[in-house]
Structure 1
């Protein structure tokens, strides 16, 4: 019974994480679409062509950096860690255990 309760709590926590990510992604799309449209319209009013306004570097600064944050959020909830995976951790532990064995043998 206790094990089932723990599984249920983990499932609820996982769903809450996914919901948070989906909300984050939806807000990202809505807000950045509006920001890009406003920026393009302002640039066109200031005499730029559509192409100049669209390809202006400053048009995509906010979506770019916010997109990096969204990517990190997605990687976190998907439990993908490209930098410090379980295999990397296991290799590091083995390396340090082996090094300790060598150090202990030196001092015997």
Structure 2
């Protein structure tokens, strides 16, 4: 009975993590779509009214950097600080605390 409950718990946790990952990916693609739309508008305005100075590049680079870091987080391109790393660290700290509590 306990094994069945543990399996159901693990399945539920995996489902919740997968659901959260899908929501993060959707959020990134929304961010990407708004970036493309706004950049197209800014490029149009820049080229129509002040083509001698391409100021839209500053906006494109600034927001692009933010978009890049968003992608790194969502698609787990960070070697550290991703979901697995966090879970591993949490387990390590919990084990350390359990060891300390045993000696007290």
When the two structures are superposed, what TM-score results if normalisation uses the length of structure 2? 0.66
Give 1:25-104 correspondences, 5 Å limit.
Answer: 25-43=32-50, 53=51, 56-81=53-78, 84=80
Structure 2, gaps ≥5 residues long: 1-7, 86-104
**Distance in 2 of aligned mates of 1:67 and 1:14:** 22
Please identify the structure whose Cα radius of gyration is greater: 1
Across the aligned residues of Structure 1 and Structure 2, the Cα RMSD in angstroms comes to 2.2
Matched, 1:8 2:15: yes
When the two structures are superposed, what TM-score results if normalisation uses the length of structure 1? 0.63
Structure 1 segments of 4+ aligned residues over 2 angstroms from their partners: none
After superposition, give the CA deviation of every residue in 1:29-85 in whole Å (9 maximum; x if it has no partner).
Answer: 000110110111012xxxxxxxxx27x341311011100000000001111126x58
| Larger RCO, structure (CA 8 Å, separation 6 or more) | 1
**Distance in 2 of aligned mates of 1:3 and 1:21:** 27
**Distance in 2 of aligned mates of 1:9 and 1:85:** 19
Q: How many residues align?
A: 76
Structure 1, gaps ≥5 residues long: 44-52, 90-108
